[in-house]
Structure 1
């Protein structure tokens, strides 16, 4: 395999001779394409986990090529593991890789598939795979935004690998295809790993200096690093002042790995280097810090041992550099290795002062094709200049026998595990079938208790109407159904039914807009059941409100479809899809009171809810009702309906979409202000901005509650983020596969966001403004934890439901979400008030909004 970078070796060699401080590999120069686009990498060296068809096989995943159907495309299944698909490249030898490029499937305009995000794993031997992480510890790489542009991403840190896998992050909302290229150069060192003591912490004038190997890709055990490469081989030599760095916004000491002599009674640090094959070593270069004013010097002496095969040579080499107490500059110390033949080197670096710090260690060698140091008594050798030794067949047979025995044992263990899992699933399925039968019988008897009658019907009429099971318990739509395990676990259920009946009867004598407790609950007859295009209801709307709107025309204009440009699919459901689009000229269709910072000649980012053309009449009717309702929602913190396309199929409603996406993803990419954020170089959100976010969500919910609208799925996933931390409440969360784990699925039918739902919503099917307040408390908790984990992450779904029963029983055994570390006591007190067992004791959104406005951060 030939590479264009070889023509630059002479220039690099001249730099070395001129005395310039250079590492063996310079990442700024080592950026040559390795052969995907140029064809040097052969088809047989490109493989994949799966493919759509023969025309989208791995060999078609070459950057800037349009062969076959235009790219590699994996098969997308419904399995939750979104990282099992990969495109693998075998470079045949170790390479230093500094850059990657990706592209989607364009296929002359026919294709529109690409990977928006992906990860990289790599291996030096084909058996141990390492996930790549950037210098801040993040694995996900932002990919393409369309199917034709090439997106190049620097690997910081670079990697040393022979095998590389591109793994698209698949959210199942769209198909993915990839074309890729690797950039770098051949890894001439041949170093595959080094084992060393972990770097240590220095306290310098009360300032912590972290001298750990932060990008080491091996294992860490008992403060020893093994089987990996890291900062000593990343091509970046440290500065003279070890507290400074080439890398922006990292902690002091980042470029160096350092040790103090207080931790090493022997007086030296031992590092072992493993290589890809036996080599003829000429020199070793060690880049050391020599800031002696801070008790740091280069090593006093180094002693190196060599291993050719399995045994270490008894006679080492020793080298002592001149100790420099005049020049504090960092420098390379060159150690002659006298053409020793070895596949591993073990060096002991002796302290010259309190601290010793290295930033790079490189080796210069020639590959040894044959081992000339073995005794000929082990077998006959080939005649000529390059004798080799015969493999000990008896040892090989023993090794193979041991491996076969281990394989048999592992297979037996796997079979036992699989058998137990199958048996458990059979038992669980039988148990669920029994529980469903119990539930249907139990709810049929008790359903009369849950007949919420807001029309003063007689009790006899109520009894007549209480025949159903699920529908009566969850009157707001088919997506919310009773968890099948609850009734058996709650023997006091009649008590809850009585309480629900009492509360409903008190509400029945008031109009929806004038309920005295501020948390009106509406009977099935009083709720307009709108089936959203994605399979989830939007808002629970009182029939009274719907009646007031029924005589009015839609207050938004028809928008030309041809001005919409597809960007990506946000979600989909039974009746339609939600797409992210760009709309040209949308400013001409918006109300005068709509505030937008988008210039008139700039396309606007919008979300388009699209009803499938084959949707039934009920779905079409609900879609038009939803348009009518959404057109009346005009609040700065509620997503606005901007325009519609209803003159022809498919019916579309066009709503705002915020450029920073949803609040859950936005916060998970940020950190709170503080030392951790400074060390990790992560973007931050201040406490003041978090308070501003929480206040806006409360304001939007205050507006909805003033209309007696119940959201029923309030969470950070349903809040969108704009510029300057602007928040707007939406309802896309249930449709996105990204958040499928936030919804509890009952035997494949119903979905419930149980971790955000109040106890009465789960047990009684009662959705009110008060249950939205409960969800707001959970949303506030998410916000202050930066969405780093799910609510009740320590509990399984079943345990969350059991905890709901504890809220119902109210025996002080219920589990509350803990106070986030950055959450003030006053705000946590507000959260706890949102989770009162008694709905009447929970604050209204007007109160929540007022409290947050009065609370100073």
Structure 2
């Protein structure tokens, strides 16, 4: 990388701070390996044990067991595991180093890839991306080598998190170091208008701030970006230091046609009140292309809460001879301020900046907020005296502010106490009304333990709910009817005599909870919900799969576990010899295949064993190209096992997270066609299940496995995996539910039907088209998701829908919205969904 022309070595020696922080000179280790960073400033989300705690995550150190190791490995775009470093002050970080756990040859754990998040205040966390938009950083290939990676762009932060990304094949441990220098500017954000586009002889020049880490909607707010990345633009703004980027990349630019006032206003926020001496603005001056430095700058200062009425003004000498880019130095006359607002006036058609820096010293009365300085006063470390006459005024203001704050706190506490009293009264009224309502319902429908009758009609049940929600959506947990979950509403004995009800709307039977037999899965989740009529047909003792020798299974990894059993990833030998004639593996002879083995614990109770046998019978009947097949069983002795397919590329959630496109706009059509191909296969598998009157109840990308050539097969053991524990909402003493994928009637009424599977398919389609970058409704808490289902029930147009993904055509988003229709009968069937997706794929 070239250094800016204006950077001179003698400047670094003479100035109190750097004129400009260059990534070429700001590369010193910040103290993980040297010990300057204390143990208490290193924390982590979890650890294997005390000997692999965060404080052992120091580069090139072997204390403890040799590294930091998280208890549960991270997962792409949904990572919860991290190693966090608090640098105590803002730093300009240009380089990171990582290392695995070697421990003298005992350890062999390392992170092959990782991501970085950073924060300047400890509350707002920002995901680092390189200049091409990629988040994932290539890490280590063994446990002992140190791998250094330049951060391009560099980051300005106090807190930094290393977040390992791994697949299902290995654990990770990390030792890390940060490299850079202290951020003496103290700048924490700048707010500016969005950069614009220039057309130059038919070529588009993009003058946007592409690495800005704040909000970018109508303007740039609360972030830092290219104006503070330590890189000065070249004389020719079309060229760049960085390869494989667009013309104009180094500069943020604006045209005077967009600013009737004749100036661009930028506001700079700092970490504390400072004494400012100069501001340096690196400008382009290619006057032959109508680009010049600013004609005049007017700067306002905010020392406490108010802006000073009198600004300073500065006009640089215009240069129409030398087209070189240059720093323009503006004297700020030792103004005390925590924020500066500058208005840069145009002198020609275009104005372009690539770097803005400030020279300042921390104000004396704010030194308690800054890291302590040592040594005698020097030119680089001056002591500022404060007039004693101002001290009394300052103390008086502080006392007044304290009294005001105390008064505000008292008012807030009083309002909270009063609100809680009102809530208690409201809930008591609600409970009384609910009790009366349920009593009326039990008399009307004779729905009791002695004489169970059919469930109320939709119209009748709605009248009850209209009385349950009169107080609005501000409730903190589900009401009693919301807690009436399908897993606990009726036993299989209660429902054995029920017959399915059909819906003429789509030709596929819809099963209310009273019509479904629930089987407790091996890992604590429920398997496919099966109609009672179908269970009668499966009541025989025959199992249509072969017994498989346990000795031919080789354990690879535990995929998940639950109350009654575990799921293991295994390699199976000679599996093709035990398969049905209509099924074959795409492997050569004598080659092992990956399989998932569901294992029932030997101490499981009788009911769990019976459910396990029923699950085998159900799975043995499922034969579809897009449904995971039951291959064989081990029933001759405990523990009982069922062996199912497992696809070599893992589940769809991990697969898409690892294959998020980076700078592939030109191939968007190709990418979308692959995604639509995957979605079509999921719809095909669900069409098959619905034809058998089976309800999946946990359709999501985590339950879809990926094989060769983007082959998709639907499975059912995502709930058992610790990786996805955050996708499930636990109601105390009751079920664990994937509420972000569930229809409103499933959450509120406990109804799981083919139509509720259609709802979940819409969410799964949304996940697929967003490359699983975030959870559905990631901006909502679990409680807010449940509240949103109440809005769907009330249907007052206040419900929140998932937004349209960037790669999603309007027709497909319309299909998603139809899957989330309030009226279950108006949702499309899986036959219709499959047809629509297939036609789009062919088109």
Please give the TM-score of this superposition, normalised by the length of structure 2: 0.68
Partner of 2:179: 184
Separation in 1, partners of 2:63, 2:109: 16
Return closer, same or farther for 1:201/1:520 CA change in 2, 3 Å cut-off: closer
1:98 to 91, 95, 98: 95
Partner of 2:710: 725
Partner of 1:37: 33
Partner of 2:251: 256
Separation in 2, partners of 1:339, 1:802: 55
Return closer, same or farther for 1:199/1:583 CA change in 2, 3 Å cut-off: same
1:630 to 593, 616, 619: 619
Deviation at 1:178, TM superposition (A): 6.5
1:354 to 335, 349, 354: 349
Does structure 1 retain, via aligned residues, the 8 Å contact 2:273–2:303?
Answer: no
Partner of 1:552: 543
Q: Quick check: 1:704 aligned with 2:704?
A: no
Q: Quick check: 1:467 aligned with 2:451?
A: yes
Partner of 1:398: 396
2:320 to 316, 319, 323: 323
Does structure 1 retain, via aligned residues, the 8 Å contact 2:108–2:142?
Answer: yes
**Structure 1, residues 566-587: CA drift from partner, whole Å, max 9, x if none?**
3x75x554334446x4647687
Separation in 1, partners of 2:262, 2:695: 71
Moved more, 249-258 or 82-91: 82-91
Does structure 1 retain, via aligned residues, the 8 Å contact 2:290–2:350?
Answer: yes
SS at match of 1:698: helix
**Structure 1, residues 752-771: CA drift from partner, whole Å, max 9, x if none?**
56676678867886655565
Partner of 1:164: 159
- The equivalences for 1:108-147 within 5 A come to 120-123=117-120, 131-134=126-129
Separation in 2, partners of 1:714, 1:547: 26
Separation in 1, partners of 2:809, 2:55: 52
Partner of 2:484: none
Return closer, same or farther for 1:657/1:203 CA change in 2, 3 Å cut-off: farther
Partner of 2:679: 694
Deviation at 1:355, TM superposition (A): 0.8
- The equivalences for 1:2-17 within 5 A come to 13=9
Separation in 1, partners of 2:754, 2:303: 75
Does structure 2 retain, via aligned residues, the 8 Å contact 1:778–1:831?
Answer: no
Return closer, same or farther for 1:829/1:709 CA change in 2, 3 Å cut-off: closer
Partner of 1:498: none
SS at match of 2:627: coil
Separation in 2, partners of 1:813, 1:646: 54
- The equivalences for 1:750-769 within 5 A come to 750=735, 769=754
Does structure 2 retain, via aligned residues, the 8 Å contact 1:121–1:166?
Answer: yes
Separation in 1, partners of 2:595, 2:497: 41
SS at match of 1:639: coil
SS at match of 1:213: coil
Separation in 1, partners of 2:10, 2:383: 36
- The equivalences for 1:716-795 within 5 A come to 716-735=701-720, 748-750=733-735, 769=754, 772-773=757-758, 775-776=760-761, 779-780=764-765, 790=776
Separation in 2, partners of 1:288, 1:563: 65
SS at match of 1:728: strand
Separation in 2, partners of 1:48, 1:791: 26
Separation in 1, partners of 2:516, 2:293: 78
Separation in 1, partners of 2:263, 2:513: 80
Partner of 2:326: 333
Return closer, same or farther for 1:533/1:430 CA change in 2, 3 Å cut-off: farther
1:202 to 197, 201, 206: 197
Deviation at 1:231, TM superposition (A): 0.7
SS at match of 2:676: helix
Return closer, same or farther for 1:651/1:396 CA change in 2, 3 Å cut-off: farther
Separation in 2, partners of 1:597, 1:414: 67
Partner of 1:415: 413
Separation in 1, partners of 2:230, 2:705: 41
Does structure 1 retain, via aligned residues, the 8 Å contact 2:518–2:527?
Answer: no
Deviation at 1:159, TM superposition (A): 1.2
- The equivalences for 1:576-655 within 5 A come to 576-578=565-567, 581=569, 583=571, 591=579, 607-642=596-631, 651-655=640-644
Separation in 1, partners of 2:300, 2:466: 72
Separation in 2, partners of 1:539, 1:361: 60
Q: Quick check: 1:233 aligned with 2:232?
A: no
Separation in 2, partners of 1:424, 1:57: 46
Return closer, same or farther for 1:745/1:96 CA change in 2, 3 Å cut-off: closer
Return closer, same or farther for 1:131/1:511 CA change in 2, 3 Å cut-off: closer
Does structure 1 retain, via aligned residues, the 8 Å contact 2:651–2:701?
Answer: yes
Separation in 2, partners of 1:650, 1:286: 72
- The equivalences for 1:84-95 within 5 A come to 87-90=84-87, 94-95=91-92
2:786 to 778, 786, 797: 797
Separation in 2, partners of 1:774, 1:301: 59
Deviation at 1:532, TM superposition (A): 0.4
Separation in 1, partners of 2:464, 2:600: 35
Deviation at 1:598, TM superposition (A): 7.4
Separation in 2, partners of 1:600, 1:267: 74
RMSD in angstroms over aligned alpha carbons? 6.4
Return closer, same or farther for 1:436/1:645 CA change in 2, 3 Å cut-off: farther
Deviation at 1:348, TM superposition (A): 7.4
Return closer, same or farther for 1:324/1:824 CA change in 2, 3 Å cut-off: same
Return closer, same or farther for 1:424/1:83 CA change in 2, 3 Å cut-off: farther
Does structure 2 retain, via aligned residues, the 8 Å contact 1:286–1:361?
Answer: yes
Separation in 1, partners of 2:642, 2:757: 25
Q: What number of residue pairs does the alignment pair up? A: 767
Separation in 1, partners of 2:748, 2:220: 53
Partner of 1:5: none
Return closer, same or farther for 1:138/1:652 CA change in 2, 3 Å cut-off: farther
Deviation at 1:744, TM superposition (A): 6.8
**Structure 1, residues 131-160: CA drift from partner, whole Å, max 9, x if none?**
344258989767989996878665443112
Does structure 1 retain, via aligned residues, the 8 Å contact 2:110–2:143?
Answer: no
Deviation at 1:88, TM superposition (A): 3.3
Return closer, same or farther for 1:423/1:562 CA change in 2, 3 Å cut-off: farther
Does structure 2 retain, via aligned residues, the 8 Å contact 1:432–1:484?
Answer: no
Return closer, same or farther for 1:383/1:717 CA change in 2, 3 Å cut-off: closer
Please give the TM-score of this superposition, normalised by the length of structure 1: 0.67
Gaps of 5+ in 2: 1-6, 73-77, 366-375, 471-480, 482-495
Gaps of 5+ in 1: 1-10, 372-381, 450-462, 475-481, 494-506, 807-811
SS at match of 1:536: coil
Partner of 2:526: 537
Does structure 1 retain, via aligned residues, the 8 Å contact 2:54–2:83?
Answer: no
Return closer, same or farther for 1:356/1:340 CA change in 2, 3 Å cut-off: same
Return closer, same or farther for 1:203/1:178 CA change in 2, 3 Å cut-off: same
Moved more, 536-545 or 596-605: 596-605
Separation in 2, partners of 1:297, 1:107: 60
Does structure 2 retain, via aligned residues, the 8 Å contact 1:131–1:139?
Answer: no
**Structure 1, residues 636-659: CA drift from partner, whole Å, max 9, x if none?**
211234566667765554544446
Does structure 1 retain, via aligned residues, the 8 Å contact 2:205–2:248?
Answer: yes
Return closer, same or farther for 1:441/1:34 CA change in 2, 3 Å cut-off: same
Does structure 2 retain, via aligned residues, the 8 Å contact 1:106–1:112?
Answer: no
Return closer, same or farther for 1:153/1:593 CA change in 2, 3 Å cut-off: farther
Return closer, same or farther for 1:224/1:743 CA change in 2, 3 Å cut-off: closer
